[in-house]
């Protein structure tokens, strides 16, 4: 919907039409203040806190499944279904999230995702059987699907161009923190009886879900969504609070209003038609880029390695349950630390360098983990150096993922689309993310039993290498670009982009 700009809003915007807007620098005035704008920081933290729930589930299930298996007497196939079902069911939430967020707004979609995960966590915590546990996973999965799309989109739409990379990394920061929190809870409750410990581990996620659902209510709505709805004055008030100066706020308002007004020329063409059936050249390239980065994020096996890290360490010769849970904490610390490093440098070095560094590092780490695993598989006595190599390689894989694909996937796929397409295009990309994650998680044990952990890890290393090649040739740099510039950026040829960036 194009904005209904009239009366005082129209007059004031028209008075400022003579403001010169230089490409990629209009929002750079006093840009350093934008990093520590308390209003943006508070809003982004609240929105991204929702991502703790996904990270917590990934971390806690890696250990809880050891006790669930003993308590409910489930098979390895049921373990794969249990773990992978959340990712598959999140597909429902991610597909619906685009339309939902365009309908009720970005903010209330975040509240909805928290409420769904709250219900799912309670169902899992009190589950008397495997079937009941699966129902909880389905509900929680739908909430996760909503969360994965909406937090990066909301953050990208709220943040100025100069700090968008930093703030849009927050969802992955909170996912990593959630993973670490899950590992710590596993270790803390592992000593309890098997019929109690896993219930506390999965059910405790209801507490942050309640806090998030309440806290999100005080957040502002996305200014771009408000303009799409014709609520220009409300958008202006949000921009005044999220910009480093009144001039910057006015420039951003003019750009957003112009972009939304231009969308009116597309009246009669549905979003799905423009995205799938008859996309323009830049939109087609955006879709391929967003789907590609989401595909490689999960096809490289990160979620599976985290979910099944206790199984990997068990194969490496660590058999005590509390030891299996405890060694994963080191991986969680590494993952959380390096995603913070990436967030701080995304707006300085750009998306492409960190993405390439992370992907190549993952390929090397996964190859090292594969070599260590193959050596241990053929060794009767488990040498300490080989066990150490596996532990270090897992931590390195998690660290390089947190430098590149982890945060940048959410940043990139949420920032490249025009406002009229952003929510629903992002939902498609996240849906691919969820499907691939679910397939990998639900087949990891089966395939590893057929061909061994080592060979499966070599496959993941090859996929990471192929992903790095795709990123190098197909993804243009978006550092410092305003959201309204993205469409013209993707009209250029890759060689032209490389020249302009240098």
pLDDT recorded at residue 45: 84
Whether pLDDT at 396 is above 80: yes
Mean pLDDT on 102-113? 88
Contact 241, 220 (CB under 8 A): yes
Whole-model pTM over 0.85: no
pLDDT digits (tens, 9 = 90+) for 451-489: 888 888 899 999 999 999 999 999 999 888 888 788 888
pLDDT recorded at residue 497: 46
Report the half-sphere exposure of 10 (CA within 13 A, side-chain side).
7
Number of other CB atoms surrounding residue 297 within 10 Å: 25
Residue recorded with tokens 């894989």? 397
Whether pLDDT at 328 is above 80: no
pLDDT recorded at residue 367: 93
Say how far apart CA 106 and CA 150 lie, in whole Å. Answer: 7
Whether pLDDT at 29 is above 70: no
pLDDT recorded at residue 325: 63
DSSP 12-53: HHHHTTT----TTTTT-TTHHHHHT-HHHHHHHHHHHHTHHH
Q: Is the dihedral of CA 129, 130, 133, 134 positive or negative?
A: negative
Structure tokens at 117: 């995960």
| Mean of all residue pLDDT scores within the chain | 80
pLDDT: which is higher, 319 or 146:
146
Whether pLDDT at 15 is above 60: no
Task: Name the burial class of residue 488, with classes exposed (0-12), middle (13-18) and buried (19+) by CB atoms within 10 angstroms of its CB.
Answer: exposed
pLDDT digits (tens, 9 = 90+) for 146-181: 888 888 888 888 887 778 888 888 888 888 888 888
pLDDT digits (tens, 9 = 90+) for 419-443: 788 888 888 998 898 889 888 877 8
Specify the long-range contacts of residues 491-499, CB closer than 8 Å, at least 24 apart: 491/281, 491/282
Closest C-alpha to 43, from 185, 159, 194: 159
């Amino acid at each position: 919907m194009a904005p209904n700009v009239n009366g005082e809003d129209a007059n004031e915007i028209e008075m400022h039409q003579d403001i010169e807007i230089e490409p990629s620098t209009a929002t750079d005035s006093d840009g350093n203040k934008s990093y520590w704008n308390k209003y943006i920081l508070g809003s982004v933290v609240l929105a991204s806190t929702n991502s703790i729930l996904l990270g917590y589930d990934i971390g806690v299930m890696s250990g809880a499944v050891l006790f669930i298996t003993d308590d409910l007497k489930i098979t390895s196939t049921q373990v794969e279904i249990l773990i992978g079902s959340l990712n598959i069911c999140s597909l429902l939430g991610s597909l619906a999230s685009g339309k939902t967020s365009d309908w009720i707004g970005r903010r209330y979609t975040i509240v909805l995702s928290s409420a769904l995960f709250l219900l799912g966590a309670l169902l899992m915590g009190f589950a008397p059987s495997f079937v009941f546990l699966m129902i909880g996973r389905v509900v929680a999965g739908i909430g996760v699907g909503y969360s994965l799309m909406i937090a990066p989109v909301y953050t990208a739409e709220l943040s100025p161009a100069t700090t968008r990379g930093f703030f849009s990394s927050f969802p992955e920061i909170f996912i990593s923190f959630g993973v670490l929190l899950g590992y710590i809870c596993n270790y803390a409750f592992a000593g309890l009886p098997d019929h109690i410990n896993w219930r506390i581990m999965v059910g405790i996620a209801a507490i942050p879900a309640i806090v998030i659902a309440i806290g999100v209510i005080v957040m502002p709505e996305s200014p771009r969504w408000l303009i799409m709805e014709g609520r220009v004055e409300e958008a202006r008030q949000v921009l005044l609070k999220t910009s480093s100066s009144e001039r910057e706020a006015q420039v951003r308002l003019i750009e957003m209003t112009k972009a939304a007004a231009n969308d009116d020329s597309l009246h009669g063409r549905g979003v799905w038609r423009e995205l799938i059936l008859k996309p323009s050249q830049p939109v087609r390239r955006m879709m391929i880029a967003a789907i590609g980065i989401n595909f490689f994020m999960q096809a490289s096996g990160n979620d599976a390695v985290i979910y099944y890290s206790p199984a990997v360490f068990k194969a490496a010769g660590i058999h005590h349950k509390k030891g299996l849970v405890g060694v994963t904490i080191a991986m969680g610390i590494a993952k959380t630390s390096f995603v913070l490093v990436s967030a701080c440098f995304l707006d300085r070095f750009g998306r492409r360098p960190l993405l390439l560094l992370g992907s190549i590092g993952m390929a090397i780490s996964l190859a090292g983990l594969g070599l260590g695993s193959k050596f241990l598989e053929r060794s009767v006595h488990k040498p300490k150096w080989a066990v150490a190599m596996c532990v270090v390689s897992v931590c390195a894989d998690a660290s390089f993922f947190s430098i590149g694909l982890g945060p940048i996937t959410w940043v990139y796929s949420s920032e490249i689309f025009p406002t009229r397409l952003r929510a629903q295009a992002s939902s498609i990309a996240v849906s691919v993310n969820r499907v691939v994650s679910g397939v990998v998680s639900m087949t990891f044990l089966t395939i590893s039993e057929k061909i061994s952990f080592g060979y499966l890890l070599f496959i993941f290393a090859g996929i990471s290498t192929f992903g790095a090649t795709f990123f190098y040739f197909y993804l243009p740099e978006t550092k410092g670009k305003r959201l309204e510039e993205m469409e013209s950026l993707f009209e250029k040829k890759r060689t032209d982009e490389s020249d302009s960036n240098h």
